Structure 1
Amino acid sequence: MPKKMNPPLSGIKILDLSRVLAGPHCTAILGDVGAHVLKIETPNHGDDSRHLGPFKDGESVYFDLINRGKDSLELDLKNENDLDIFYDLVAKSDVIVENYRPGVAKRLKVDFETVKAINPKIIYASISGFGQYGPLSQFPAYDITVQAMSGLMSVTGFSETGPTRVGESIGDIFAGTYAAWAISTALFARERGAEAQHIDVAMFDVMLSMQMTGLANLFANKKAPTIVGNRHPVSTPFDTYKAKDGLMVIAVANDKLFATLCKTMSRDDLIDHQLFKTDALRTKNEAELKREMEAWLNQHTVDEACDFLLNNGVPAAPVWNLEEAVNSEQSKARELFAAAKGSDIPIVTQPVRFNDFKSHVTHASPKLGVSNKNYGKA
């Protein structure tokens, strides 16, 4: 297979009005696959995430990770001269991404209707907490508020601790990812003759629509699913378990795999046990089955148990911390990180391969206003 190819979005020009995470993540992964991203930032201050820690050598590592490969232009959109520069750029661009609160873009005169009059083929993506319309559309939103209101938090955590957020800002990340998918789709439609398109991505919509297991339980049982910790709400054994030297995961979702698990543990007697004969029974008697499994696991280290199980085809895994995952041989083989020109902070590359080629940028995030002189700004 070819190892190199032209990035799929080569030649596409994106104006990035967004800040912090959802919008910048969207434009970063589009930039990875070839689009030129010009980040429009407020003079002297820039994107708020430039001021979010952690910092290294005075620069935000957080900002660096999600603004890789972009250029930066300082524009005060309340200034008529700067607004004219923006309009000139609109005429030459393919995509605009913004994540203002609904109504702000219109007040700044950079809304979809305004830019569509300048460029009738523009693709304009708006990312917000609750969308461009609806009873909550004007409310501010952070990832934690959307996790709380989407129902995701209600099924995350343990009964003794109560609801908790997922340990990453997945509402922002997935909203940005869906926005990138929608933009790519709109670009394809434009190739088939479509005119300007306004894409409306709401974090709430994204997080609610992604909960397939929970929604299946809700629609089937007419009752909201509840917290089950690390367990699967339907299949058992499917949880974290204690081995001799730490925690590991075992995931068994059918009777055949359960029989293989029992044979691996030399516990054939459990296969047709009256408490564990079916998945439904195993879930009902989860605590008893966990005790039986951990009696075997406590005789083995995590690595030993994983070797036994995986070699027999039973899904199992150690619980790695982030450093272990980053430094793993799997991560290295998949080229999940790349060296950045001009920075010792690695680039977190987009994860998709095209014909075994991984398209990504090599330039670190831009200094504020690095491209000012290219657009007539002092």
Structure 2
Amino acid sequence: MSRPLPLSNLRVLDVSQVMAGPFSCMLLADMGADVIKVEPPKVGDQTRRAMGFRLQGDDSAGFLALNRNKRSVELDLKNEAGLRAFYELVKTADVLVENYRPGVAKRLGIDYETLKEIHPRLIYASISGFGQTGPWAMRPGFDLIAQAMSGILSVTGQAGAAPAKNSVPVGDLGAGLFTAYAVLSAVIGRGDDGPGQYIDVSLFEAALGLSIWEVAEYWGTGKVPQPLGSANRMSAPYQAFMASDRHFVFGAANQKLWALLCEVLDRPDLLADPRFATNAERMRHRDELESALSTTLRTRKADAWIAALLEAGVPAGPILTYQEALASEQAAARDMILDMEHPVEGKIPQLGFPVKLRGTPQQLRRPPPLLGEHTEEIMREIGCDIGKLGQQGAFGR
């Protein structure tokens, strides 16, 4: 007999839009939580219409990527009847995640102080650009702004070049990951009969919190970190190099690997060079090291170097496009592309689960919901008169 998913006893209200909140709630949903996406009538999460590419229906590929395993209910939180219905829904929930700008939830009457009076065990997570306190709290927050103001943008790209944003939205996704981590910590801390609590997450702090090496370099040396291209702040050589045909990467991050690298390259002179004797010296002479290695690496094709380095035990690999990465045998072996049936789109691809639970494997239980698809179902579950609520404008007019 199969065991239930680990979070199947949790109900989560996803009162968020775009990326950080929906991503966090999807992580919880993938682990079995009953995630109810509370959306404004007729428009829904702005990602449905405004973000990314469309396939067949109205919802964008961006929305489809962030909202599987959820149900959707339309509620007008600016309408008295809609707000009453929302309060009834809150009474049944364990967790609420929202990402309004600070102050908006209070104006709507759905802030933590209001809702904890209705449901003292509620765990309430707010995601914002800069957190609920501090001089920047009221600034609007996007991933780009978080990358810029956390320092990430200052160290990304090549030295002397124009600022280069990290294409993967580390502020947004990092905030989503930290929110899921905080929510589960609060659930455990709440126990069987304890109170809930408020969780304050920001894109700025998520981006800064992920800047481990950069902050360590600054505190350790007193020097402001600068862009290094593909290089690593704590090890050398550990970056992309050009072979005779294309770039590839390898990492000789300790003395053993450095010695093996010199052996593969047939460069005993590098091993004997005092400029490269230790990792600290190699980092100090990074430009000279790169130049010395490049003269040899450009003599063979990337695949040949990769094969030789891997055989010797030196980590190395090609630089793949997303098309190549998704089509790789490793992605296939790890089930990183899953097909899901959608009522409008038909069969759509989904990224697989990035962690695997062998005892309670995750499932694609629900496709990303259509706007308001489960409104009637959910209202009936919590004992609301859907006809009366509809007449009063709870679901929009």
Residues 14, 38 of structure 2: 8 Å contact kept:
yes
For residue 355 of structure 2, what is the aligned residue in structure 1? Answer: 352
Distance 2:3 2:216 in 1: 41
Distance 1:253 1:373 in 2: 57
Distance 1:235 1:261 in 2: 14
Q: 1:150 to 1:258 in 2, by over 3 A?
A: same
Q: Note if 1:312 corresponds to 2:315.
A: no
For residue 19 of structure 2, what is the aligned residue in structure 1? Answer: 21
For residue 141 of structure 2, what is the aligned residue in structure 1? Answer: 141
Distance 2:347 2:78 in 1: 36
Residue 64 of structure 1, CA deviation: 0.4
Greater mean alpha carbon deviation, residues 263-272 or residues 66-75: 263-272
Residue 156 of structure 1, CA deviation: 0.8
Residue 356 of structure 1, CA deviation: 6.3
Q: 1:97-128: CA deviations, max 9, x gaps?
A: 10000111011000111111111111111011
Q: 1:267 to 1:356 in 2, by over 3 A?
A: farther
For residue 187 of structure 1, what is the aligned residue in structure 2? Answer: 187
For residue 37 of structure 1, what is the aligned residue in structure 2? Answer: 35
Q: Secondary structure at the match of 1:303?
A: helix
Structure 1 counterpart of 2:111, one-letter code: D
Instruction: Show structure 1 runs of 4+ deviating over 3 A.
Output: 355-358
For residue 131 of structure 1, what is the aligned residue in structure 2? Answer: 131
For residue 256 of structure 2, what is the aligned residue in structure 1? Answer: 256
Q: Note if 1:9 corresponds to 2:12.
A: no
Greater mean alpha carbon deviation, residues 223-232 or residues 109-118: 223-232
Residues 32, 349 of structure 1: 8 Å contact kept:
no
For residue 394 of structure 2, what is the aligned residue in structure 1? Answer: none
For residue 276 of structure 1, what is the aligned residue in structure 2? Answer: 276
For residue 155 of structure 1, what is the aligned residue in structure 2? Answer: 155
Q: 1:362 to 1:339 in 2, by over 3 A?
A: farther
Query: Identical aligned pairs, as a percentage?
Result: 39
Residues 31, 360 of structure 1: 8 Å contact kept:
no
Q: 1:242-264: CA deviations, max 9, x gaps?
A: 01221111111222211110001
Greater mean alpha carbon deviation, residues 261-270 or residues 144-153: 261-270
Residue 176 of structure 1, CA deviation: 0.6
Distance 1:159 1:98 in 2: 38
Structure 1 counterpart of 2:11, one-letter code: K
For residue 114 of structure 1, what is the aligned residue in structure 2? Answer: 114
Greater mean alpha carbon deviation, residues 179-188 or residues 234-243: 234-243
Structure 2 counterpart of 1:145, one-letter code: I
Q: 1:358 to 1:266 in 2, by over 3 A?
A: farther
Q: 1:262-307: CA deviations, max 9, x gaps?
A: 0011112221113322223222332332233223322322222111
Greater mean alpha carbon deviation, residues 178-187 or residues 263-272: 263-272
Residue 320 of structure 1, CA deviation: 0.7
Residue 344 of structure 1, CA deviation: 2.3
Q: 1:23-47: CA deviations, max 9, x gaps?
A: 0001001000000111111111111
For residue 230 of structure 2, what is the aligned residue in structure 1? Answer: 230
Structure 2 counterpart of 1:372, one-letter code: T
Residue 351 of structure 1, CA deviation: 1.1
What is the RMSD of the two structures over their aligned residues, measured on CA atoms?
Answer: 1.6
Distance 1:337 1:345 in 2: 10
Residue 210 of structure 1, CA deviation: 1.5
Residue 355 of structure 1, CA deviation: 3.2
Q: 1:121-141: CA deviations, max 9, x gaps?
A: 111110111111111111101
TM-score (norm 1): 0.95
Residues 94, 122 of structure 2: 8 Å contact kept:
yes
Greater mean alpha carbon deviation, residues 103-112 or residues 156-165: 156-165
Q: Secondary structure at the match of 1:178?
A: helix
> How many residues get paired?
376
Distance 2:123 2:93 in 1: 9
Distance 1:315 1:356 in 2: 31
Residue 62 of structure 1, CA deviation: 0.5
Q: Secondary structure at the match of 2:376?
A: helix
TM-score (norm 2): 0.91
Structure 2 counterpart of 1:126, one-letter code: S
User: Which structure 2 residue ranges, 5 or more long, are not aligned?
Assistant: 380-385, 391-397
Distance 2:190 2:364 in 1: 25
Distance 1:44 1:35 in 2: 26
Write the mapping of 1:45-84 to structure 2, written as runs, cut at 5 A.
45-51=43-49, 52-58=51-57, 59-84=59-84
Q: 1:298 to 1:223 in 2, by over 3 A?
A: closer
Residues 154, 227 of structure 2: 8 Å contact kept:
yes
Residues 5, 360 of structure 2: 8 Å contact kept:
no
Residues 347, 364 of structure 1: 8 Å contact kept:
no
Distance 1:35 1:158 in 2: 43
